[in-house]
Each structure stands twice: as structure tokens, then as C-alpha cells.
């Protein structure tokens, strides 16, 4: 029997080692890397990029963090190119880490005009599985020669490889269906694999073989947007509550959810309670919205009971029940939230945490701190961590909490580190500024960098210089926070 693969958390190095901090994207790791001999840093950077250390590859960004360190230390990119050539083959299972390699190389080419990075992307197109995204990145580069010859390379690859041709056809068909649903303004804000978008439009203009690939699909690519049959906001505002329930479907559920609170009155409570058990999940969702607006004891008990007894098959509608109960006043919800939070049922932890993150009292602080002490929590295996951190951030001036510092040092998810930093800044602002604010300026996560800009002491050596660099950060919030502190200075 093959041995079970270790989890991402188990593969992380000790949190206070240089490798451990680089894997987690900490600002302290960035600063330590700058102070270390480059030849000691290079293999650690390559290790991080090739063996993606992120728990959440959708929400955690590391590309700019690693790309910036590559530029600062002069690391060679050949190990990344070698790994792509070795592992990005069609029948391989080694796809999990390719995204971080490509996004880091793409960041080097895009933000730093790194010519070797551009060549790695160009060399990748003839064989790589992510050829579509890489071609789009090359098309967005403002570097001479980025797309030279790529049209011919792709025309040959798509025409000669049945698997790639099938992938091309499916992608065009999928993007075409999406394109037809968009209005004129929406079409301007997307990039699709269609000959009306770049770089495909240029490829078709200068390469007959590429144009033929799109033409053989038989699609009229210049089709105007279809007339919209969506209800306008003015029309929705004229509907009564019962008319909304009679006509709601998947296409109108979101709009009706927004407008429904202004339609609800206490006289509607019985009507709404009846629909909590509706077989139509859109009507159940609207019932939760209305009952949340009423926030009566009967409404609370109905939603509470629904949450407690529903199965995972109902989790789509249950999510809206969470939203409704979390918005109810604490005199209705807080005692239940405390019980749910300490239960062994994951689906009860979610609304309980949401309620505590809004309404926790000082009496809840020991329970919240105890939650931070469990190994599963720091490993991000217990989803109560986010809400425990946000709840602790309600209490200013509690003083340093060692468990918050442990989370900041050890947690693998960079957004949880931000929440720990935010809670430390509220509970012990002087301690946070002295011990952590400066390193936050180099954190991989934009919210943590923003917090660092807002809290760092301008008398700290190097702080003002870093703020001037962050005044040109890629993230709007970071830029604005850095510029505001500079202006204050």
C-alpha cells in the first residue's frame, strides 16, 4: 500500500526558519532573505515556487512576493524552466504546483520586464498544458517580441494535436456561450478565446491557418448582444412581496433578495414562515431574507431549527439562512451561537462564528482564546479560526495575547495571519507597532501590507523608505494607505 502524501502543512518548515517564513509569505522572511547571502536564499526560493506551499491557491497570492525576491537576490530562473519542461506533460499528474511557477514567471515578465522570464513563457507555449493562459499573459506584456511567432506555433500545435484541438474547440464554444450572455459594456471588460479579442484577433489577421481554426467553428463572431429580458430595478421595486414569491427563479433571486426587505411587514410573518419548508429553494431563500428582516423570536426559532436539522444537500439554501441569522440582534442569537461554536458540528460553527465576530462580549474572550490553542486551529483545519480572530478584534486594550502571536507566527494561510495582525493591533496596539507593524510592510498579503502602512512608526529606520515604495504598490488599498502616511509625515 502506498504511503499517504503528507499534507501541505506537514511539508512546511519550522515557522521561525527562513524557509518556513518564505513558505508562509511573511514580511520577516522577506527581510531576512535580503540580509542573507544570496546563494543561501536561491534554493529556498526555488523550493517555495516549485513545491507550492499555499493552502488556498485561489485566494493566497505569492507570485509578486517571490518575484520581487528573485529580482532583489538575482536568482537564476533556469530551475523553474527545467521543472516546467520536466513536469508539464499531458499524461503527468504533476500539475498542482505549475500555477505558482507560471504566475511567478509571468509576474517577473509583466512587472519587472524580465527578459529571461518572457523567454520561459514563450518556450512554454509549444508544449505546456496552460498554453491558453500563458499566451494571454504574453499578449498583455509591453515587451518587444513577446508574441513573435507564437501564432504559427499555436496554429501548428492545435492543427496537429487532436487533444489540443479538442481543448481549443471546447474553450471557444464555452467562451462563445458566455460572450452571447454579455451586454456591450460587459464584453469590453473580459478576455475570451474569440477572434474579436486580442491577441487572437492579431493572430487571425496575420496568420491564415489560425484564422481558419476559428472559421471552421461556424460561429458568427460579430453577433450583437442579445436583447436583455431581465427585469429592471424599477420593475422589481413595483412588485409586492407575494408577487416576488410567485415569480422568483434563479435569474431573479439575487435582485429580489436585495429589494425584499423594503417589502416586508410584521403582517407577513406567517406567510414567510410557511415558505421556510418550501420545496422551491429560491422561495426558501427569500423567506430567510424576510424573516431576518423581521428578527422576531418566531423568525429566529424557525431559522435556527432549519440550520440545525438540514443536511449537506441543502447547503446552498442554508448559506442564506446563515446570513439571515447572523444579522439578527444578539439578544436573540448570542446564547445559541456560544453553544453552536463549541459543538462538534461543522455546519453550526459557521453561523456561530459569524454571530460571535459581530457580537461577542468580554465573557466570550476565554472561549475564543482557547480556540486558538488547538493544533487543528493553527493548522487551518478548524474553520472557527477566522471568526475567533475577528471576534477578538472587537476588544480594544486587552493587552498582548500570546495565542494571537502564535497564530501570526505559525499559521500557513496568509489571510489568517492578517486577521491575527488585525486582532493584535486592536488588543495591544503599542505592542503590535513595536513588534510586528514594520515586517507587515513586506508581507505577501495586501491587507497585511495595508495594515502595516497604517500602523508602522515613521521613526522606525527604513519605514518611510518602504512606504515610498508601497506608494506604487499594485494594490489600490496599499497605495492609498502608504500615500496617506507619507502625506501625514
Per-residue pLDDT tens for 138-181? 999 999 999 999 999 999 999 999 999 999 999 999 999 999 88
User: What is the C-alpha to C-alpha distance for residues 119 and 200, in angstroms, rounded to an integer?
Assistant: 20
Choose the weakest-confidence range: 220-224, 408-412, 476-480: 220-224
The pLDDT of residue 1 is 39
Mean pLDDT of 10-30: 95
pTM, entire model? 0.90
CA-wise closest residue to 200 among 166, 158, 246:
158
pLDDT band at 226 (very low <50, low <70, confident <90, very high): low
User: What is the C-alpha to C-alpha distance for residues 203 and 155, in angstroms, rounded to an integer?
Assistant: 9
User: Is the pLDDT higher at 484 or at 237?
Assistant: 484
Residues 300-327: tens digit of each pLDDT:
999 999 999 987 667 788 999 999 999 9
Q: Are 290 and 270 in contact (CB under 8 A)?
A: no
Asked whether residue 45 carries a pLDDT value surpassing 60, the answer given is yes
CA-wise closest residue to 281 among 258, 308, 312, 248:
248
User: What is the C-alpha to C-alpha distance for residues 395 and 398, in angstroms, rounded to an integer?
Assistant: 7
- Burial status of residue 152 (CB atoms within 10 A of its CB: 0-12, 13-18, 19 or more): middle
The pLDDT of residue 380 is 80
User: What is the C-alpha to C-alpha distance for residues 136 and 120, in angstroms, rounded to an integer?
Assistant: 14
pLDDT band at 6 (very low <50, low <70, confident <90, very high): low
Chain-centroid distance, C-alpha 357: 20
Q: Name, in order, each residue with C-beta under 8 angstroms of 466's C-beta and a sequence gap of 6 or more.
A: 441, 442
pLDDT winner (highest mean) among 48-57, 213-222, 370-379, 462-471: 462-471
Q: Are 203 and 151 in contact (CB under 8 A)?
A: yes
User: Is the pLDDT higher at 379 or at 123?
Assistant: 123
Residues 425-467: tens digit of each pLDDT:
999 999 999 999 999 999 999 999 999 999 999 999 999 999 9
3-state secondary structure (DSSP) of residue 260: helix
Length of the chain: 489
User: What is the C-alpha to C-alpha distance for residues 439 and 412, in angstroms, rounded to an integer?
Assistant: 17
- Percent of the chain whose predicted confidence (pLDDT) is above 90: 79
Fill in the DSSP letter of residue 296: -
Residues 74-129: tens digit of each pLDDT:
999 999 999 999 988 654 555 556 899 999 999 999 999 999 999 999 999 999 99
Q: Measured between alpha carbons, how far is residue 99 from residues 61, 80, 120, 191, 405 in Å?
A: 11, 12, 14, 19, 31
- How high is the mean pLDDT of the chain? 92
The pLDDT of residue 96 is 55
Q: Sign of torsion, CA 42 43 47 48?
A: negative
The pLDDT of residue 2 is 43
Q: Are 292 and 324 in contact (CB under 8 A)?
A: yes
Q: Is 341 left (phi over 0), alpha (psi -120 to 50) or beta?
A: alpha
pLDDT band at 3 (very low <50, low <70, confident <90, very high): very low
The pLDDT of residue 426 is 98
pLDDT band at 37 (very low <50, low <70, confident <90, very high): very high
Q: Name, in order, each residue with C-beta under 8 angstroms of 429's C-beta and a sequence gap of 6 or more.
A: 396, 455
Q: Are 172 and 193 in contact (CB under 8 A)?
A: yes
The pLDDT of residue 402 is 97
Residues 185-212: tens digit of each pLDDT:
889 899 999 999 999 999 999 999 999 9
Chain-centroid distance, C-alpha 361: 30
The pLDDT of residue 276 is 94
CA-wise closest residue to 100 among 158, 54, 146:
54
The pLDDT of residue 5 is 56
User: What is the C-alpha to C-alpha distance for residues 321 and 299, in angstroms, rounded to an integer?
Assistant: 11
**Domain segments of the chain as ranges:** 1-147, 149-219, 240-328
The pLDDT of residue 348 is 95
Asked whether residue 469 carries a pLDDT value surpassing 90, the answer given is yes
Q: Name, in order, each residue with C-beta under 8 angstroms of 122's C-beta and a sequence gap of 6 or more.
A: 138, 146, 150
Q: Are 443 and 22 in contact (CB under 8 A)?
A: no
HSE (side-chain half, CA atoms, 13 Å) at 76? 6
Amino acid at each position: 500500500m502506498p504511503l499517504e502524501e503528507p499534507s501541505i502543512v506537514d511539508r512546511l518548515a519550522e515557522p521561525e526558519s527562513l524557509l518556513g517564513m518564505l513558505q508562509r509569505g511573511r514580511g520577516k522572511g522577506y527581510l531576512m532573505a535580503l540580509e542573507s547571502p544570496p546563494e543561501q536564499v536561491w534554493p529556498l526560493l526555488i523550493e517555495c515556487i516549485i513545491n507550492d506551499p499555499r493552502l488556498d491557491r485561489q485566494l493566497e497570492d505569492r507570485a509578486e512576493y517571490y518575484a520581487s525576491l528573485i529580482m532583489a537576490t538575482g536568482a537564476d530562473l533556469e530551475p523553474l524552466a527545467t521543472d516546467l519542461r520536466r513536469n508539464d506533460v499531458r499524461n503527468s499528474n504533476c500539475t498542482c504546483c505549475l500555477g505558482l511557477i507560471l504566475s511567478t514567471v509571468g509576474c517577473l515578465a509583466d512587472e519587472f520586464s524580465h527578459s529571461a522570464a518572457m523567454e520561459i513563457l514563450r518556450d512554454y507555449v509549444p508544449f505546456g498544458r496552460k498554453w491558453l493562459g500563458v499566451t494571454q499573459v504574453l499578449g498583455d506584456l509591453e515587451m518587444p517580441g513577446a508574441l513573435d511567432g507564437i501564432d504559427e506555433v499555436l496554429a501548428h500545435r492545435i492543427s496537429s494535436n487532436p487533444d489540443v484541438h479538442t481543448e481549443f474547440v471546447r474553450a471557444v464554444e464555452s467562451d462563445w456561450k458566455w460572450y452571447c450572455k454579455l451586454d456591450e459594456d460587459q464584453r469590453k471588460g473580459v478576455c475570451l478565446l474569440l477572434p474579436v479579442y486580442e491577441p487572437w484577433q492579431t493572430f487571425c489577421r496575420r496568420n491564415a491557418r489560425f484564422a481558419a481554426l476559428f472559421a471552421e467553428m461556424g460561429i458568427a463572431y460579430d453577433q450583437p448582444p442579445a436583447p436583455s429580458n431581465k427585469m429592471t430595478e424599477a420593475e422589481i421595486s413595483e412588485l409586492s412581496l407575494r408577487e416576488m414569491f410567485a415569480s422568483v427563479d434563479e435569474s431573479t433571486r439575487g435582485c429580489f433578495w436585495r429589494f425584499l426587505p423594503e417589502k416586508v411587514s410584521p403582517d407577513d410573518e406567517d406567510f414567510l414562515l410557511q415558505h421556510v419548508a418550501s420545496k422551491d429553494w429560491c422561495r426558501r431563500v427569500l423567506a430567510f431574507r424576510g424573516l431576518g428582516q423581521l428578527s422576531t423570536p418566531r423568525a429566529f426559532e424557525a431559522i435556527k431549527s432549519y440550520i440545525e436539522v438540514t443536511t449537506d444537500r441543502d447547503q446552498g439554501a442554508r448559506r442564506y439562512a446563515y446570513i439571515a441569522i447572523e444579522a439578527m440582534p444578539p439578544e436573540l442569537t448570542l446564547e445559541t451561537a456560544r453553544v453552536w461554536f463549541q459543538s462538534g458540528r461543522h455546519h453550526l460553527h459557521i453561523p456561530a462564528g459569524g454571530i460571535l465576530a459581530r457580537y461577542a462580549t468580554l465573557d466570550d474572550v476565554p472561549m475564543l482564546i482557547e480556540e486558538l490553542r488547538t493544533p487543528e486551529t493553527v493548522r487551518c483545519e478548524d474553520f472557527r479560526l477566522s471568526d475567533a480572530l475577528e471576534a477578538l478584534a472587537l476588544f480594544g486594550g486587552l493587552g498582548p495575547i500570546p495565542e494571537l502571536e502564535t497564530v501570526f507566527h505559525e499559521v500557513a494561510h496568509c489571510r489568517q495571519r492578517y486577521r491575527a495582525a488585525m486582532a493584535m493591533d486592536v488588543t495591544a496596539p503599542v505592542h503590535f507597532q513595536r513588534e510586528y507593524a514594520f515586517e507587515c510592510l513586506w508581507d505577501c498579503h495586501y491587507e497585511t501590507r495595508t495594515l502595516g502602512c497604517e500602523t508602522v512608526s515613521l521613526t522606525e529606520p527604513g519605514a518611510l523608505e518602504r512606504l515610498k515604495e508601497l506608494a506604487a504598490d499594485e494594490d489600490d488599498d496599499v497605495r492609498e494607505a502608504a500615500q496617506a502616511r507619507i502625506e501625514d509625515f
